[in-house]
Amino acid sequence: MDLSNITTLHNLEAAFGGESMANRKYLYFAKVASKLGFSDLAKLFRETAEQETEHAFAHFELLHPELVVKDPAGLTDEQKKQIVSRCLSLAIEGETYEYTTMYPEFAEAAKSDRDNPAAAEFLKQAQESGEHANTFREAAHRFGLLKFIEHYHADRYTEALEVLNGGQAATRVAGDDPQTRKWICRQCSMIYDPVAGDPDSGIAPGTAFEDIPDDWKCPICGATKKTFKPLEEKVAA
């Protein structure tokens, strides 16, 4: 397909985004329905979600025909490697955009944004305005943390691409010093850095992970402290 037509390109990207979002939305609906005991509805939502996935895949294949694999057995090892390399490159591109541009911009917007409600809203108690301000601060904190998560993902994709192209896997070890050793959430990849701490959760900068209260939760996904493990970082060559 000729993607030189910018309108068609944008429409395909929008369609892919819409179908992808529908998939996750219907899976969430299925989860809700299942919890409430509506098993038939949960099944319907899951089936529809799978159909939306196929729609999204069809759009994505038009956007990236270089990734379409019709006859795997007919491909050489080099051709297979090129296709997987392209997948990794696109993944790195997406994750890098998220941690260098998208999330930093979201964080700044959350920090500087102001609530502009209808006129009646101005008559509400000052306490509500304070609650809004706290909500914005929490949003800024979450977006800031997500930036580092996407950085981590992009870094691991880069390593995978290097290995695929014949390079050596990087040596990774966890730090020895509790005051600088980072920990990563196994559920969402949120990284706790003791140097920065987690001030928004009451954890002061300089607090070693071991010294965090046991009831502390991951600020991204809410996982318990036990879900974290020491982060293995690259060893300088």
Phi, psi of 191 (to 5 degrees): -105, 120
Helix (H) or strand (E) holding 151: helix 126-164
- Residue 145 pLDDT > 90: no
Residue 60, pLDDT score: 94
**Residue ranges per structural domain of the chain:** 6-63, 77-143, 170-234
The terminus-to-terminus CA distance of the chain in angstroms comes to: 45
Give pLDDT tens digits for 160-182.
Answer: 888 888 888 778 888 889 999 99
- Residue 194 pLDDT > 90: yes
Q: Which CATH superfamily is domain 6-63 in?
A: Ferritin, core subunit, four-helix bundle (1.20.1260.10)
Give pLDDT tens digits for 214-233.
Answer: 999 998 888 999 999 999 88
Q: In what order do the strands lie in the sheet with 191-192?
A: 191-192, 183-185, 228-230
What's the residue count for the chain?
Answer: 237
- The answer to whether 150 and 98 are in contact (CB under 8 A) is yes
For residue 212, which amino acid is it? I
Residue 184 is given by DSSP the state E
Give pLDDT tens digits for 116-137.
Answer: 333 333 334 444 444 554 555 5
- Residue 67 pLDDT > 70: yes
Q: What are 169's two structure tokens?
A: 């896997």
Q: What is the CATH number of domain 170-234?
A: 2.20.28.10
Whether this prediction's pTM lies above 0.85 is answered by no
CATH fold for the domain made of 77-143: Ferritin (1.20.1260)
| 9 or 138, greater pLDDT | 9
**CATH topology identical between 6-63 and 170-234:** no
- The pLDDT confidence band at residue 138, using thresholds 50, 70 and 90, is low
Residue for token digits 């098993």?
A: 39
